[in-house]
Structure 1
Amino acid sequence: MDDFAGKAVMVMGGSRGIGAAIVRHFASAGANVIFTYSGSPDAAAEVANETGATAVKADSAKRDEVVAAVADAGPLDMLVVNAGVAISGDVLELNPDDIDRLIDINVRAPYHASVEAGRTMRDNGRIIIIGSVNGDRVPWPGATAYALSKSAVQGIGRGLARDFGHRGITVNVVQPGPVDTDMNPETGPFAKMMHSAMAIKRHAQVDEVAQLVMFLCSPAGAMITGTTQTIDGGVGI
């Protein structure tokens, strides 16, 4: 996609999985890519060496680090907020501090990163937040906090689409279902259960999610804003 040549792109959470795939796609399309990482320095170095992208250490649970990373990146053309964590279990047993950290990373970080990017983002820019199909449905017990966070980013996307629309900046949420990553491998113990609810009975690949992000960031996505774009193989249809 030659349309990304020279574009300034930041990916929050780009060292592994979906985020690393997004970094690779933008870099291969000629964009100038900066990505953040927190707990995976070796993986971040590998992605940076492979793609020529710049890796920046920033903990998405800390607002000041999130805001500083985006501000230091300068005027962006595109921001993709991919960093996220998942916690599940008996709601009566889960550590409240862990839940607060999940909300910091999954909700507060996308909000503050997007707002900070919007201060200097060039007109007709793009903001993408990686959500989850669990923002729409919760097919098993124990996922309340995670689902809460992914429902919340839908509101962020719709609201910021209004706030930034007069500048031609689009804001969308991409909602994957099961994706074949280290956190949720297609060969994992829960894969069969997940596939049973899907029309296309397999995990998505990280490149498939990245390609959807690329489409939304391309000129073809100029009139798509305030939406949730679900890529889940038909979970729950």
Structure 2
Amino acid sequence: MSTLKGKTAFVTGGTRGMGAAIVKRLAAEGANVIFTYVSSEQTAENIVKGIKESGGESLAIKVDSSIKGALEKSIDQIALKYGKIDILVNNAAISVKGPLETASERIDEYDRQINVNIRAVSEAVRSVIKYMPDGGRIVSIGSVGAKRIGSPYMSDYIATKAAIGAYTRGLAWDLAPRNITVNTVEPGAIDTDMLPGDDAVREAFINAIPLKRFGKPEEVAGLVNFLAGPESSYITGSSFTIDGGISA
């Protein structure tokens, strides 16, 4: 597969779950893939090693996207090395949940959630478009919760993910003159370490899904790959749900 041969992709949060699957899929399609991580250095190195052993090109960089300016600095360095960035995937996110009554006790966590889930996406886009050729691709990972919440204690998290959908629609207009497409992927329950480990809770999740299973990170990566590729050139400002039918 080589639908992205000659392209350079920048993925935030590329060592776990959907992020790792996205990195591997884009690399398998021929892209040079640079991805960020915060603490999983060994995992990041293993992903890079695997991609290079398969004949691809990859680079992992340690970036805490909650820190203002950190992404911009890293993107500038990557553009200097590779000359351009054709694809941006905003995947990095954190989830802070809990009763409203206790939110004030964890305000630092909630502020960090906003910084990572919203502000960092804006920073990445503003930084990347300086180096993105016309016809580039921006894909952000949202959540099916932006349309169907389904459980309590998620108000702030879901608000950040809903913001991504709105941001995408605005950016689609702003970047259309350059034929840069901007889209959102909104996963439902995907089988990653972010899902609850309790068997009863997992069973309840599955019973609520029409397809009666969790999604696979590779399935999300496949959708991202399509939106990053040549066949999606007339799709922009859209949000794509991948949730096994739970929001139907």
TM-score normalised over the length of structure 1: 0.96
- What residue ranges of structure 1 are gaps of 5+ in the alignment? none
- What residue ranges of structure 2 are gaps of 5+ in the alignment? 53-57
Give the superposition deviation at 1:3.
2.1
Within 5 A, what are the aligned runs for 1:184-199? 184=195, 188-199=199-210
Give the superposition deviation at 1:187.
7.1
Percent pairwise identity: 39
Is the contact between residue 144 and residue 247 of structure 2 (CA under 8 Å) also seen in structure 1?
A: no
Within 5 A, what are the aligned runs for 1:1-237? 1-52=1-52, 53-74=58-79, 75-94=84-103, 95-184=106-195, 188-237=199-248
Is the contact between residue 180 and residue 186 of structure 1 (CA under 8 Å) also seen in structure 2?
A: no
**2:130 aligned counterpart, secondary structure:** helix
Query: Take 1:188 and 1:111, find their aligned partners in 2: how far apart are those partners?
Result: 37
Give the superposition deviation at 1:40.
1.2
Aligned length: 237
**Which 4+ residue blocks in structure 1 deviate beyond 4 angstroms?**
185-189
CA-to-aligned-CA distance 1:173-214 (integer Å, 9 cap, x gap):
100001111221687552222223221111100100000001
Query: Take 1:103 and 1:193, find their aligned partners in 2: how far apart are those partners?
Result: 29
Is the contact between residue 63 and residue 74 of structure 2 (CA under 8 Å) also seen in structure 1?
A: yes
Query: Take 2:214 and 2:19, find their aligned partners in 1: how far apart are those partners?
Result: 16
Counterpart amino acid of residue 9 in structure 1: A
Query: Take 1:33 and 1:169, find their aligned partners in 2: how far apart are those partners?
Result: 19
Counterpart amino acid of residue 40 in structure 1: S
Query: Take 1:23 and 1:173, find their aligned partners in 2: how far apart are those partners?
Result: 17
TM-score normalised over the length of structure 2: 0.92
CA-to-aligned-CA distance 1:56-102 (integer Å, 9 cap, x gap):
01001112111112222212110001101111111211311110100
Give the superposition deviation at 1:231.
0.2
RMSD of Structure 2 on Structure 1 (CA): 1.4
